[in-house]
Amino acid sequence: MKYQARLPEHNSNISHEHPLKEFALLLAGLAIIMAALYWALGLAVDYVVPMISPEKEQHWFKTMRIDKGASHWISQDNTISPYDSPIFESLRSCANIEVPLTLWQVDSDQPNAVALPGGDILLFSGLFDHAPSENGLAFILAHELAHFKHRDHLRSIGRGIVLMTVTGFISGDSAALASLLTPAGLATQAQYSQTLESAADALALEILNCHYGHVGGATEFFENMLKEQDSSAIAGIEQLNHYFSSHPETQARIDNIEQLRQQLGFDKGP
């Protein structure tokens, strides 16, 4: 009998699945692992942050120059200067925040405000175009005070570090893989941020009512943002994406603030 060489019918060392299917399963598995790690470590951050007193926070961060500490939010082209608000100290008192805080104005078209570690609050110039009245600006200030009161700025930093750490741990040195996996963490981070925003809105209403005896102007900023958002959509402009990425949808937020006002029994004001 003549011998004829032939390949074995089955080889356990060779996968019979399509390579793209295997890659998709691997990617999905890594994304699930990343989300689970982020969730678990995020809970650890939430547990530790309340243990850090405002005094300890200022001791850690106040030695940092404001332009260095805010480098994530401002560029070298932006000028930053102290901002004087005649109502800020009263609002801070209503928020029961005892440590001193500092307001800064950033020369930027962005309609934004940010609470930073160490007791600094950034107000971007574009914000004043959308909150022209004292009451409208007061709600924004109260909102940032609420973030500071809730320690949200420390939570966000902690979770941001966790996200970068988890992404780097799973993806290793592969920047391409990291770019694919990061959205899984960012989606969780954005949802978490929206929860913090809603809680800050509730406390901001209490602060505003403490100062004025009503909450008039609470939705002024968001109503003006909604008008600009509609105009931008018509013009095909996406300049407001930086704001809406971590904030609840604008109309829903206006409705939520009004619902909170009614639940708390606050006067709508003039």
| pLDDT (0 to 100) of residue 22 | 72
pLDDT of 232: 57
Distances (CA, A) of 138 to 35, 86, 87, 90, 206: 37, 10, 8, 10, 12
pLDDT of residue 188: 47
What pLDDT shows up at residue 142? 97
Alpha-carbon dihedral of residues 215, 220, 138, 253, nearest 10 degrees? Answer: 70
Quote the pLDDT of residue 238: 45
* DSSP designation for 104: E
* Average model confidence (pLDDT) across the chain: 77
pLDDT of residue 132: 93
Q: Tokens 């004043």 — which residue?
A: 128
- What's the pLDDT at 105? 92
Sheet holding 113-116, edge to edge: 80-82, 102-106, 120-124, 113-116
pLDDT computed for residue 185 by the predictor: 44
pLDDT of residue 239: 47
Q: Angle CA(104)–CA(90)–CA(48) in degrees, nearest 5?
A: 70
pTM of the model: 0.73
Q: Give the model confidence (pLDDT) of 179-228 as tens digits.
A: 444 444 444 455 557 788 889 999 999 999 999 999 999 999 999 988 88
> Parallel, antiparallel, or unpaired: how do β-strands 102-106 and 120-124 relate?
parallel
- Full DSSP string of 151-197: THHHHHHHHHHHHHHHHHHHHTT-HHHHHHHHHHHHHHHHHHHHHHH
Q: Quote the CA–CA distance of 170 and 34 in Å, as a whole number.
A: 7
CA dihedral of 194, 83, 268, 212, whole degrees rounded to 10:
130
Ordered per-residue pLDDT tens for the chain, 270 residues = 566 666 556 655 555 566 677 777 777 777 787 777 777 777 777 787 778 888 888 777 766 656 555 656 666 677 888 899 999 999 999 999 999 999 999 998 889 898 888 888 999 999 999 999 999 999 999 999 999 998 888 887 777 777 677 666 665 544 444 444 444 444 445 555 778 888 999 999 999 999 999 999 999 999 998 888 766 554 444 444 444 444 558 888 999 999 999 999 999 987
Q: What is the pLDDT of residue 110?
A: 86
Q: If you search the block for the tokens 């440590």, which residue do you land on? A: 99
